[in-house]
Each structure stands twice: as C-alpha cells, then as structure tokens.
Amino acid sequence: MKALMSGNEAIARGAYEDGITFASAYPGTPSTEIMEAFAKYDGVYAEWSPNEKVALEVGIGAALAGARAMVVMKHVGVNVAADPLFTASYTGTEGGLVVISADDPSMHSSQNEQDNRNYARAAKIPMLEPADSAEAKEFIKIAFRMSREFDTPIFLRTTTRVSHSKSVVDLEEPRRVEENRDVRPDPSKYVMVPAKARERRIEVEKRMERLRAFAETFPENRMEINDTKIGIITAGMPYNYAKDVFPGYSYLKLGMVYPLPAGLIREFASKVEKIYVVEELDPFIEEQVRAMGIEVAGKTAFPYTGEFDPGVVEAGIRGVKTEGVDLPDRPLPQRPPNLCPGCPHRGLFYVLGKLKVFVTGDIGCYTLSFMKPLEGLDSCICMGASVGMAHGMDKALGEKGRVVGVIGDSTFVHSGITPLLNMAYNKSNAVIVICDNRTTAMTGMQEHPATGVTLQGKATKTLDLVELGKALGIDNVRVVDPFDIKETRRVIKEELAADGPSLVISRAPCALLALKQKADRKPPLRVDPHKCTGCKVCLGLGCPPISWRRFEDVDMKIEKKTKRQEGIALIDPALCDGCTLCRQLCAAGAIGEVTEDD
Amino acid sequence: MTSTSVQSVLMVGVGGQGIIRASDILSAVLMKAGFDVKKSEVHGMAQRGGCVSSHVRFGPKVYSPLAKKGEVGVLVSFEKLETLRYLDYLKGDGKVIINDEEVYPPAVNLGEEPYPDDAVDFIKQYFTDVKVVDATGIALRSGDRRMANTVILGVLSAYLDVDYGVWEVVLTESFPPKILKKNIEAFKLGRGV
C-alpha cells in the first residue's frame, strides 16, 4: 500500500517495520514527529527523556542489554549528547544503536546552523543520509543492520527539508524479531578506563577500515552515468534539487556520507569532465574529495549558509537568473512569529521588559519576547544557558538586582537544574524565573517530567518544581500567576531586592494546551471606543488581536478625550482569548467583555 | 497545465489558517489521481503566527519538494499581504487565488507600517489570471469560518485536472463524519466560484 509520509513519519514507520521496539528522545524541531509517530505503534517502548544526553545513555544501556535502540534528537541536541556518544563509539553497541540527528539548514527553528556530519568524523561513527521519505524508511533499517554488523553506533542524518517534506512510500508489513535481551559483563568493552580504552581505540580504527571498504560496494552509494560533461557528487535533499534542474548530468549519489568511498569517487571522477559537489552547509564532502587530489567545484559555486533549493543549484552551475516575471522590489511588513493570544508568557515579559534588568533568556516560545514591543529578553544561547549566565553576570557585576534569568519548564528540566544548584552552592544573587506553562510548547506540546504524564500517555510521578528548588538550596521560592500583572511585578521586585538566589515559578498553562484540553473559554474582550483615550499602553503587550486605528480609518464619530489623541485601540474578538492582561493595563477602563449587543 | 511534466502549487498564508492541512489534502488527492507527489511545509517556531508556506509538486516523477522561483503554476494565498511575499515564485502565465482576508502583522497592529491595501491591483498588473475569493464569508455562510481552507481547496480544484470523485473520496477520509457534510458543501461552493 502507498502512503504519503513526512521523512520523520517514514523513519518511525521504517523502525516499526524492522521490528524496533525501543526508542528514547528529547523533542526538538525538526526531529520531534519521529518519536510522536513511533510511540503510537503497537508493542513499542518510547520515552521522552529529560534531555538528549540522558536519551542517548538510555539508548546505550538498552543496546548493551541486547535491544536495537533508536535515539532521536535535533542537531544541537547532539551537542548535549556528545559526551556519551564519543565513548559509545569505543564500547560498541551489541544490540544496535542508531542516533538520529535532524539538522536545520536555514535555522527555521534553531539557534545555530551546525553541520552534524562533522560529528560523524569526530566520533568515528558512520553516517547515512536519506534524500526523501522512501529512503528514510529504508535507511533506518540499513542503519540497524550496519550497527549490528560493525558493532558501532551509527548516525542517520536528516535535514529539515527531509524531515518535514511528505513524499510517497510503500508500506510493508512489520517483521517480528526476537532480540537476545540479556546483559553480561565485559570489562574489556564496557569499562572505558584508560588501559581498556586504549585497546578499544585500536578496534575503532580497524572498524573504520572495514567501514571504508563497505562503503565502496554499498548499494546506496550509486553512480548514475548520463551526460559526462558534468558530474555531480551529492547526498540527501540536495540530490533532489540537482536532479530537478539537471536531470541529464551524471551523478554520484551518496547514501552514506561518512566514511566516503574513495575508490568509487575516483572511478566517478575518471568518467566525467567536470565535478561539482552539491552539499548544504560545510564543504564536508568537497574537502575530502579535494584531499584525494581530485579537482572539484563546491563552495566556489554554492553558498556556505542556508538551505538550497533547485534555484540555488541551478544558479551555482548555470549562473542564470531564475525565469518568471520581473517584479519591482517592494518592501513589505515583516511577519515574524509571535506569542499566541492568551499566552502566559506575555504578562511575565511585559513586566520584565519594564524593569531595569538584564534578562538572560533561553530556548522556547518565550524567546520571541525579545522583539518589540515586549523587549523582555536580552540573550539566547542554548538550553539551560539562562541560569548559568544570570549567575555569571551577577558575580561579574557584584551588584544585586540587575539580572533575571528566564527558562521554560521543559527547558529547566532539560538543563536548568545543575546551574540552579550552582547558584545555591556559589551564593548567587540573581533571580531565576521558570516560565512554567506545563508543557514543551514550542515543539508542539510534548510531556516532560514536570507534567506527570509519559510520552505514551501513562500517568507518572510529577516533578515538584517548588520542592526541587528548595532541595537544591534556594531559600526564596515563590509561585506567581503571570496573568496577574501587578502581583507578578511585585514578587519579582521583592526577589530582586532579597538576599541570596531566588526562584520564581510563573505558572499558567500554555494557551494551546488549554485549547487542546478544552478548558472553558473566557469571553473575548472589546474596547469601548468612546472611553479609549488612545494612550497605546495595551499595544505594548504585542497581542495579535489588539490593533491601532487612526480616527480617519474608523467609521464612527468619536469624541477626542485628549487634544493629542489620534485614534483608538481595537480588539479582534475572533482572535481574543479573554486573558484580561490588556484590561489590567487600561487606565481609562475602556476594555470590557464582549456583550450580546456587540 | 499538462500532465507530462512536474507542476507546482504554492500555498501561503499565516500560521493557524489551516494551510498545512489543506496542502495535506491536496497531496493525498494528487497521489490518488496517480501522480508522484512531494510537498514541503514548516513546523516549530516558524508556525507561531508567522508566515506559512507549503509547496506541493506533482507529476510522473518528482525530485524536489521545493519549487524554484518562477515556476509555480498556481499560487494559492490564504491572506492578501502574503500573496505579495511569494509572487516571485509564479511563472509568467501563473494563476493566483487570493482569499479576501487581511491578517495584520505586528508592525501594522502597532500603527508603525501601513497594510498594503493595493495588493490585488498590484498583482493584476503582472498576472492576468487572478481570482479573489471571500472564502471566510462563504465558510461562515456554510456554518463555520474554520472551513475557509476547504472553500479554498474547492476553488483550487477547478484549476486542476483531477476528477471530483477523487476529491470526494479524500475529503471523506480527511474529516470526521460529524463535520464532513458541511465541508463537502463548503468545497462545492468554492469549486463553483
């Protein structure tokens, strides 16, 4: 049977068809849907771990116990998991271990554009890269076979465009696999003290030799010889872009991007006149081919940054301007992503934006509040960085009340606990706010240890953030409702003045979570045009339903309340969530609930 | 449109307008009609009220899920301003379907920048086949404004060489029985525009 599947869904399906029953992950765009899809198949165990390092360690343990384990993360997640990864390369994996790295060229949903093919080389781990959903479904199976055959962890790399494009796949029946689940001590393999690690180090190099030989005849490294004037070496999604615009050229399409098949590359080079390497981000293949003494064009023709498309590949090789209509340049209002109507972060960041403090930020929806008009966040580096940075700034400034660190609940569990412990241990004076919206919102509402539900929907222990803060040694722990602006401002100001580190838990469910759980809707609000003084304070919330109308654009007669009033605020009732933040800010009392008459 | 080469439809608009769902349905229809299909979409941070676009490409064999600029046959825009942002994807004889809806971006809400009121006139200067549809109004008359995307699919269906029967099968698979009848009605209203 045929089906349309995203690359992510196809990876989950392929794992299921291959009889894989064990997977661990931390959500992160563009990887998240792999686990969401996999967790729904019959007879599988799938967990959200608190972070990628834990997820990988869980996978290593399962693999050493004989399971074939799939561990899933986005590209920056591999940074978090890098520590166990590099040594698991030495221990080998018994059952089988596939690490999926979903890279994000163009940074659609990421803070950097790292090319994780470099990890394959650095950790001496082979890497497969599918070009579409059909390959994704097939390559996950090949990856598990290779992991077992070579006793190595193996990477399956996707990019956003592979993960989030849908294409046609053939569904197959799942096969039943009896895995030999057992553990037996083997210090020479599993205890990586220096003496043992030195021995394994040699084994890793022997394995690389075998993998290089395997790559030469690996059927997914394939030549397509057509017009031999131009040959293109490529892998993953860029293969599709190139085939789309240059179907007649010759191709060496690499299904395995590390290690490379040197013999096959030489053979291809001998058959074609000019070679282009078409790859997004780093010149990873290009530099290795160059090092073989083969002349190629790569980053001289194509950009280092951003994802490609057929137009980029065409321009790089043919140097033509894209066809189509000649349109004049026309500046358009930007449409950046924004916090949703009814978002609990809005009240908190409105307060923070008005305080004279530096706000170290973190990874989550709330990062968006750096923008106008909230301007309530001043840094974003990586998961957990807000806490450590707030402490570092506090120590460097040596002056109380100047720094607040903000971090989401899921992000706090991911990487905020250790730096919070550090703040108690090293006597910090900074204030940390956990934006506790009861879910992992940005990636689409995944559960985590503080929600009390597992990935597969089972009720479980709920991490108590208040008690945790106290246990770590934070004496000042407060809980506030971010929909109460006055109270939120008062508590944060008190904690900025208090001695020692403080933890404020700003707690209210994500607006989308409330929608999903069908919580009672609050009535939408409206602006009474005859009371509105046009002060624009409510616009400072940056709430999507609230807009500004000049008097000349309103079809009714409105008396000016002040000489300088130029218009009024409006609320779109279809978008309004009724959260009341704007009503709390309106000094004129012009905002009220929509009534029957409206 | 001929069916011997790869064709591209580009759906654009604002997060929350049901664009991804509409492009899913379109892709399923095209697959059922016997085409190879690839489509791309956006997830994660980009979705939060930001621009959303979904490329759908179909033909005997499709490689790239992304169209290149200047080759899109039909641009389906769920929001007026967003049409302007993606106009350079259209080929010279490309067709444009525009939902007559304005969703203000933040700078317009704040009164800092004007909304481009001349969007449709501007587009008509460069493209001849431009259809403006009050999809939200039609959806409201069918009972629910959230069916605007179904109305737009109906409009689009008249531009594609696929039997109505295939659409009906996929729509039936796509909606729960409770709201199916209304959606089919909305689709037909769109198809008749």
Domains of chain A in sequence order = 2-217 (3.40.50.970), 221-318 (3.40.50.920), 345-516 (3.40.50.970), 525-593 (3.30.70)
Instruction: Name the residue with higher pLDDT: A508 or B15.
Output: A508
Supply A526's token pair: 């409206």
Contacts of A244 in chain B (CB under 8 A): 6, 63-64, 68
Residue A464's contacts (CB-CB under 8 Å, 6 or more residues apart) are none
Chain Cα centroid distance, residue A464: 25
* d(CA B149, nearest CA chain A) in Å: 17
Measured CA to CA, the distance from residue A235 to residue A120 in angstroms comes to 15
Supply A416's token pair: 């905020």
Question: Considering CB atoms only, which of B65, B116, B127 is closest to A167?
Answer: B65
* d(CA B47, nearest CA chain A) in Å: 7
Instruction: Give the mean pLDDT of A190-198.
Output: 98
C-alpha distances in angstroms, A135 versus A20, A104, A252, A254, B85?
Answer: 17, 19, 16, 12, 33
What 3-state class would DSSP assign to B23? helix
Q: How crowded is residue A47: how many other Cβ atoms within 10 Å of its Cβ?
A: 19
CB proximity A109 to B under 8 Å: yes
Supply A595's token pair: 């009534």
Chain A residue with Cα closest to B15 = A337
DSSP β-bridge partners for residue A569: A548
What 3-state class would DSSP assign to B180? helix
Question: Considering CB atoms only, which of A336, A368, A373 is closest to B110?
Answer: A373
Measured CA to CA, the distance from residue A117 to residue A139 in angstroms comes to 16
pLDDT of residue B42: 79
Q: Is the pLDDT of residue B2 over 50?
A: no
Question: Considering CB atoms only, which of A241, A325, A336 is closest to B106?
Answer: A336
Can the peptide bond before residue A30 be classed as cis, meaning omega within 30 degrees of 0?
A: yes
> For chain A, how big is the Rg over CA atoms in Å?
27
Chain Cα centroid distance, residue A389: 21
Put simply, the answer to whether B43 touches A444 (Cβ < 8 Å) is yes
Measured CA to CA, the distance from residue A501 to residue A498 in angstroms comes to 8
Q: Is the pLDDT of residue A126 over 60?
A: yes
Which of A:355-384 have CB within 8 Å of B? 365, 368, 371-373
CB proximity A111 to B under 8 Å: no
Give the model's confidence band at A597: pLDDT under 50 very low, under 70 low, under 90 confident, else very high.
Answer: low
**What is the average pLDDT value for chain B, to the nearest integer?**
93
Q: Detail the DSSP E strand segments found in B68-114.
A: 72-77, 90-99
Supply A455's token pair: 């990935």
% of chain A exceeding 70 in pLDDT: 99
Q: Is the pLDDT of residue A255 over 50?
A: yes
Per residue in A453-501, pLDDT (tens digit) is: 999 999 999 999 999 999 999 999 999 999 999 999 999 999 999 999 9
User: Maximum distance among all alpha carbons in chain A?
Assistant: 87
Per residue in A267-306, pLDDT (tens digit) is: 999 999 999 999 999 999 999 999 999 999 999 999 999 9
Q: Is the pLDDT of residue B190 over 70?
A: yes
Put simply, the answer to whether B46 touches A33 (Cβ < 8 Å) is no
Can the peptide bond before residue A373 be classed as cis, meaning omega within 30 degrees of 0?
A: yes
Chain A residue with Cα closest to B90 = A324
Q: Domain B7-132+157-174 adopts which CATH fold?
A: Pyruvate-ferredoxin Oxidoreductase; domain 3 (3.40.920)
* Burial category of A434 from C-beta neighbours within 10 Å (exposed 0-12, middle 13-18, buried 19 and up): buried
Put simply, the answer to whether A244 touches B64 (Cβ < 8 Å) is yes
Helix (H) or strand (E) holding A248: none
> Cβ distance A200 to A86 under 8 Å?
no
Per residue in B115-163, pLDDT (tens digit) is: 999 999 999 999 999 999 999 999 999 889 889 999 999 999 999 999 9
Measured CA to CA, the distance from residue B99 to residue B138 in angstroms comes to 11
